[in-house]
Amino acid sequence: MTGAEMIIHALKKEGVRALFGYPGGAVIDIFDALYNSDIPFYLTRHEQGAAHAADGFARASGEVGVCIATSGPGATNLVTGLATAHMDSIPIVAITGQVHTHLIGNDAFQEVDIVGISRPITKHNYLVSNIDDLPHILKSAFYLAQSGRPGPVLVDIPKDIQQAKTSKPYPDSIEIKSYKPTIKGHMPQIQNVSKAIAASNRPVIYAGGGVISSSASDELRQFAKIINAPVTTTLMGLGVYPETDKNSLKMLGMHGTEYANYAIQEADLLIAVGARFDDRVTGKVDKFASKAKIIHMDIDPTTIRKNVQVNIPVVGDIKHVLHELNKIVEPKENKEWLEQIYKWKKDHPLKYKNDGRIQPQYVIEQIAELTNRKAIITTEVGQNQMWTAQFYNFTHPRTFLSSGGLGTMGYGFPAAIGAQVAQPDKIVVDIAGDGSIQMNIQELATAVLYQIPVKIVILNNHSLGMVRQWQAIFYDRRFSSTCLRRNINCPPDCDQTGENCPKVYVPNFTKLAEAYGATGFFTNKVEEVKPTLEKMLNTPGPVIVEFEIEAEENVYPMVPAGAPINEMIRGMA
């Protein structure tokens, strides 16, 4: 078969249920082979949208997401999506076209060294130079993407390779000599973990996205129940432990709960499970969990001791490690410690103002109530993301999809499309800001034309809210380039709250939704929030709902950059 036919054959063999992408001259042979294929293809309106949709599909399903782009600008438009997936350990296979082999290096039309460009932001990448290598490379790409610590893999395929023929079969299995991820944890180390837990009085479980990647939520919940310890999660770990449970500390870190951060700082044992101690979690590193012995379980040995010193490392797949640990760990009561936890939770709850205006936290609580917390929620990046993390109260894994490590504005909407394709029977809601939603708004055409019924809730504060918050707190309210109503007639020193502030905002999201063939709703009245959301959920097809929210509302608590995580700005309520 031709190289192009081999690609489609490989996708079928790997059980790929959906493709996202955009055609071009360097992949026209692949699209010709796709023409009579039964693999559903979704034509996005931008290659970045395709990468994020593949990412959302992977996060919602646990399968490998696949995207296709042409050479040159098509490939470079995938870069942000690949970097997003790489930072959050999401399995994606990206297939890019390349100019003819003999033209590589000659600055040919739409030529770019995408292998060189993507090397730092992929788990691995390939440039196929021999047609007979293609089956093995494609098999390797899928294996690498989903094994060990997952991540994106890019396969760059020149046009002449797509047209050449091979008789090599597609492998049923693969073995890469230089790549042997550790699956089973070292049993003596797991025993040491059990001993450390038995000796502790104030244990805290700190769970991250690795628990979701290894489908180990059930094992984590069993572990937490056995040792009766409070559980805090990273942004990527939301949903692995029910946040409605009395022992949940919800999220920790820069915008985590006060009680989670207090618990970390007072713990005598910190059990990190599938997390990487990133800077938004630790704050000032030398003050982080300074009273605690630290256990770190992760499949990736390079993450251990990368950011913090660890007393007991355990390298292995989280599902396997917790399964073995649950067999030997002794039950605990931790009565005094839990009493302290419950007191912190009572004394320092998450809260917000109730002043008759639409508060974003209230909107998110209503979404959670109306969906019974069973929807898949995607977010953009910024205040909308943090309010969602704080107030939705996630109870199931793979229901919160957001760009954590890279912080990619424009991620949430195309990711919601991918998630809806992966889980067609679930409600999918993208909670967005009025700034970030415009970065990939063109994907409304994709949602409408393929009848993908995603719902978009825009929390409109007329500004780039998170940057504005930092300007308000740390830069003496010098609001430089964060007002999205600002126009050529605005005074240079406008504080965004004066009488001369323009009332016209661009765009009108309701009309924009209608222009794409979707449905749009708007309200600025708090009493209309719930009925408007009910209309959204009962309206077929894609829907945009715009809530004009309190412009000055900020995300609290907040740990200033470089401060210990128990030194928080609490805001007002």
Catalytic positions are 47, 109-110, 159, 466
Cis amide leading into 40 (omega within 30) = no
Between CA 328 and CA 195 the distance in angstroms is 10
Q: Residues with Cβ < 8 Å from 253, sequence gap 6 or more? A: 234, 235, 260, 261, 280, 281, 282, 283, 559, 565
- With CA atoms as reference, report the closest residue to 297 among 280, 320, 281: 320
Q: Locate all alpha helices (DSSP H) within 427-503, ordered by sequence.
A: 444-449, 465-474
Work out the number of other CB atoms within 10 angstroms of the CB of residue 35. 8
Q: Residues with Cβ < 8 Å from 426, sequence gap 6 or more? A: 374, 375, 376, 419, 420
Angle between helical axes of 383-391 and 360-371 (0-180°, round to 10)? 50
**How many CA atoms are closer than 13 Å to the CA of 472, on its beta-carbon side?**
19
In the three-class reduction of DSSP (H, G, I as helix; E, B as strand; rest coil), residue 446 is classed as: helix
194 dihedral zone (left: phi>0; alpha: psi -120 to 50; beta): alpha
In the three-class reduction of DSSP (H, G, I as helix; E, B as strand; rest coil), residue 449 is classed as: helix
Which two tokens mark 113? 């060294």
Unique residue bearing structure tokens 């399964």? 323
Between CA 17 and CA 38 the distance in angstroms is 9
The DSSP bridge pattern shows strands 269-273 and 248-251 to be unpaired
User: Could you tell me if 452 and 427 are in contact, meaning their C-beta atoms sit under 8 angstroms apart?
Assistant: no
Rg (CA), the chain: 24
Q: Residues with Cβ < 8 Å from 129, sequence gap 6 or more? A: 101, 158, 161
- With CA atoms as reference, report the closest residue to 51 among 410, 355, 533, 293: 410
Q: Locate all alpha helices (DSSP H) within 96-181, ordered by sequence.
A: 114-118, 134-146, 159-163
Which two tokens mark 376? 């898949």
Between CA 443 and CA 432 the distance in angstroms is 14
The DSSP bridge pattern shows strands 312-315 and 376-379 to be unpaired
* Type and span of the H or E element at 250: strand 248-251
- What's the Cα-to-Cα distance from 499 to each of 297, 301, 374, 494, 503, rounded to whole Å? 55, 57, 43, 10, 10
Q: Residues with Cβ < 8 Å from 135, sequence gap 6 or more? A: 6, 10, 166, 168, 169, 170, 171
